[in-house]
Amino acid sequence: MYPVFSYNIGHEEIDAAVKALKGKSLTRGTYTEKFQYNFSKYIGSKHCLVVNSGTSSLETALELLQLDRGGEIIMPSLTCRAAVDAVILKGGTPVFVDIDPDYFFLNPVKAAEAISSKTKAIMVVHLYGGTGDIKKISSIATNHHVSLIEDCAHSVGSEFDNRKLGSFGNLASFSFYQIKPMTTGGEGGALLLKEDMLYKKGCYLVGTTDFGHRSELKNWQSIISEKSAQFSYPGHNLRMTEMQAAIGLVQLKKVDKLNRKRRVIAGKIDEIFSAYSKYITIPKIHPKARHSFYVYTAKINSNYKEWRNKLMRSFFKNGIMTSLMYCPPQHLQKVYRGKIKVGQLRQTETISKQILSIPVNPYLERKKLNDFLNKVEKSMKVFK
């Protein structure tokens, strides 16, 4: 069976992990520092805080915005529940607005209309490795003096207008969970920050500063100095280990090559699907975007329930798992009732019934890839 998501930990990652385990420190050391430096440089942001998950990174971003004072976050409902949970758990209110159905991306006009005096930020998600006009959303956020958070969990290395996603927002969140475009060995995340003050505070929230590690201070005087014993904010421990950072450094070097392969595979699936354009629409890529195809998400054209079930069954019978990301959309989850604000979400509701994600596995060798593509073609014949 071809799973929807895949990962690959090779000998380089294992060697790096072992080396880190034999190093001077198991946490808060040189691997973490280097990974933070390399990752922020790769994306093009000023600061990076690596953490233990994408959820922790989103929660830190939202905690920095002090939602507990009654803030609203404008966001799409077609997203991972982690984003919605993070807003609610940090005391804020998700304000769901509709998406542009072409790119599965927050509709800029609707986002602008939803801004109120309570808005703290617009949070976008770059779904499936693609994006919409993030520049337009960024100017809306700037003009209205609200923050922009990018959830880049699906899109390490994707671009808009020759800039990496994650470099547009004041805050950008990444997940290194095992099935994401790159992993730090199962769990992990990163928060990118542009502003020095937010970064300083973020260090406390994540737990990289003053956390009872007095022995690490420079000399004995500093151990007993009043000043060094003071801390500025209450925080958590969301830290990544040295071993995770060492694995992340290796995976980061591979991500561009893997993304190129993902684009080639997506092109081949496009070719197969194009013969079935009466039934299914291939993913549209924004003219300024560089997609990285975390998954290949197409849209069923009509008779959504019947055709999508038929297709999913056919893929399964041929040994390919498929996924519905995200159906139902989050505003229809009963658990959020009374905790969210919902506008007209016509596109979101329709899209969630249409979407079907199929795997894009860049680790497949040529023979296996041909087998996979043959099975995709065979699965589509259910429409003949």
The size of the interface with ligand PLP (CB under 6 A), counted in residues, is 15
Q: How far is the CB of 56 from ligand PLP (least distance, A)?
A: 7
104 or 372: whose CB is closer to ligand PLP?
Answer: 104
* Residue corresponding to tokens 């440089």: 41
Q: How far is the CB of 131 from ligand PLP (least distance, A)?
A: 12
Q: How far is the CB of 237 from ligand PLP (least distance, A)?
A: 16
Q: Which of 95, 99, 153, 300 binds ligand PLP (CB under 6 A)?
A: 153
**What does the block give as tokens for 6?**
């895949």
175 binds ligand PLP (CB under 6 A): yes
Q: Single out the segment in contact with ligand PLP by CB under 6 A; choices: 42-50, 105-113, 147-155, 367-375.
A: 147-155
Q: Which of 35, 96, 177, 296 binds ligand PLP (CB under 6 A)?
A: 177
How far is Cα 37 from Cα 157, in angstroms, rounded to an integer?
A: 16
Sheet holding 189-193, edge to edge: 47-51, 189-193, 171-175, 147-151, 119-125, 72-75, 93-96, 341-342
Judged by CB under 6 A, the chain residues 33 through 62 that form the site for ligand PLP are 53-55, 58
Closest CA to 376 of 282, 277, 272: 272
Judged by CB under 6 A, the chain residues 277 through 306 that form the site for ligand PLP are none
119 or 175: whose CB is closer to ligand PLP?
Answer: 175
75 binds ligand PLP (CB under 6 A): no
150 binds ligand PLP (CB under 6 A): no
Q: Single out the segment in contact with ligand PLP by CB under 6 A; choices: 77-85, 109-117, 160-168, 345-353.
A: 77-85
Judged by CB under 6 A, the chain residues 84 through 143 that form the site for ligand PLP are 125
Closest CA to 288 of 73, 132, 110, 59: 132
Give the ranges where 225-365 is alpha helix by DSSP (H): 242-274, 304-317, 346-354
Closest CA to 125 of 148, 150, 160: 150
How far is Cα 235 from Cα 7, in angstroms, rounded to an integer?
A: 32
80 or 265: whose CB is closer to ligand PLP?
Answer: 80
Question: What dihedral angle (degrees, nearest 10) is formed by the CA atoms of 64, 52, 175, 343?
Answer: -40
> Using an 8 Å Cβ cutoff, are 234 and 210 in contact?
no
Give the footprint of ligand PLP on this chain (CB under 6 A).
53-55, 58, 79-80, 82-83, 125, 151, 153-154, 175, 177, 189
